[in-house]
Amino acid sequence: MASRSAEPVVDVVPLLERQKVGRFWLILFAVSWVVTFLDGFDLQIISFAGRYIQRSFALSNTELGTLGTIGVLGTLAGSILMGYLGDLTGRKPAIVVSAAGFGVFTLAFAVAQDYPQLIALRFATGVFLGGALPLIWALVTEFAPLRLRSTSVVITMIGYSFGSAAGGPLSNLLIPSFGWQSVFVAGGLASLLAVIPVVLFLPESVKFLAQRDLRQHRIAPILRRALPETAFADGTRFTVGTGPRQRTSFTPAALFRGRTLAVVTPLIWLAYLSSSAIVFYLAFWGPILNERIGFSVSQAATLAAWASVAGAAGQLVAGRFIDRRGAGMIALLPTLAVPCLLAIGLLPLSAAPYIVILLVSHALIIGGHGGVISVTGIFYPPAIRANGAGWATSVAKLGAMLGPWLAGFALDHGVGVRGTFFVFAVFPIVMVVALVALGRVQRGLPAGADGSMLTPVSTKEDRTAV
């Protein structure tokens, strides 16, 4: 045992590095999965219910497309606002606000009476949907040991992929019997219920509390949940590394401060924007394109759901390689996705080859997207990590809005359904360039730096209980 001197100081980083996967992590993953599953479901359900909403309100194609875009615009605002809230009050309170918010407004969307109400409620839903994911990423990243950092975020994002996939079969099950409103009622109620396990079981980030010097009395109980064998003396002060505590207000300039972030932030934004463009093109237009290719409405929805499952599998496999090889490893996935997209766009494929290549392309594209997400916040210090992830997510929403619009523009100008896959092959190419450059920067970071692949050497004091 170390000396019980007045106010002993403990660095939380070496403690978190020696964690083993156990009950604490199972609970953390389970609660995170609930939030990300419902985030994915509530965001993507508009793609499956869109045709029914269009008929119910006699909407034009442009109005329907605007309804899809306005939700993404809301997520752009939400990722900034909720990221700011997360860095001001903590990850957990902001996640509670986000989950409750998108639950309330998803439920309210089901009782909208006209098109302006649909627009307003979808935007409001998007604000809270956009805030939840960056906060979850920041929280999981700040608990994860270096060896599991990317994998933990990828595992968390599998919940989002399954939530997106659930929209297809649930729409086929509920809408024919109960109307399009039923899927929004189901999503809204489930999201409100999800607030309960978040409040009861989700821990606050100890790195955030230590670096901001907030609520120090809460850190030891949380650490004992993660490391049951560790004890701390009364009055112990917790820090993050040897750097000073950060209490200053956040400004966007902080994301570019220093030689590393000045390079890293633009590269992350470019990769994330490009990835979001193709992912949201596939998510929004996928069921419609499958139907126009020749599948029935139910077959098209089912195929879109299986494509999301394939994407989840791609994310899980990618995570382990990223932890071992770094951010540059992500570039392999979009590289392999390019020939898949070109094959769909240029070759006269029958149904079976089309399905196989489509599923493979989703595994590669969504796997790469999850990889980008997993490294979005790791290069920023904990005090601004939620803002870093939030701003990157907001910039990525520009790509998310571009993707569906660009596909519609291409279709209206005679490109053809399969031709859109050819057009969107440019985005993985941009991803490859940005990710290779990001990998080079990461490999040059010293041990202990945010985003480094090298584990800092712990001291004797760090390795012993206080």
Q: What is the pLDDT of residues 327-341, one digit of tens each?
A: 788 899 999 999 999
Closest CA to 408 of 60, 57, 52: 60
| Helix, coil or strand: residue 114 | coil
Average predicted confidence (pLDDT) for the chain: 84
The pTM (predicted TM-score) of the whole model is: 0.73
Q: For residue 219, give the amino acid letter.
A: I
Q: Taking residues 322-326, report their average pLDDT.
A: 69
Task: Output the pLDDT for position 259.
Answer: 87
Partners of 239 in the β-ladder: 11
Determine if residue 43 is left, alpha or beta; phi over 0 gives left, psi from -120 to 50 gives alpha, anything else beta: alpha
pLDDT-derived band at 242 (thresholds 50, 70, 90) equals low
Query: Which CATH fold topology does 9-443 show?
Result: Growth Hormone; Chain: A; (1.20.1250)
Contact (Cβ atoms closer than 8 angstroms) between residue 103 and residue 192: yes
Contacts of 30 by beta carbon, 8 Å cutoff, 6+ apart: 197, 201
> So where are the chain's domains?
9-443
Contact (Cβ atoms closer than 8 angstroms) between residue 274 and residue 434: yes
137-182 pLDDT, tens per residue? Answer: 888 888 888 777 777 877 887 888 888 888 888 888 899 899 999 9
Residue 239 tokens read as: 């820090």
353-404 pLDDT, tens per residue? Answer: 999 999 999 999 988 988 888 788 778 887 787 778 778 888 888 898 888 8
- The secondary structure of 178-231 as a DSSP string is H-THHHHHHHHHHHHHHHHHHHHHPPPPHHHHHHHT--GGGHHHHHHHH-TT--
In whole angstroms, give the CA distance from residue 219 to residue 225.
10
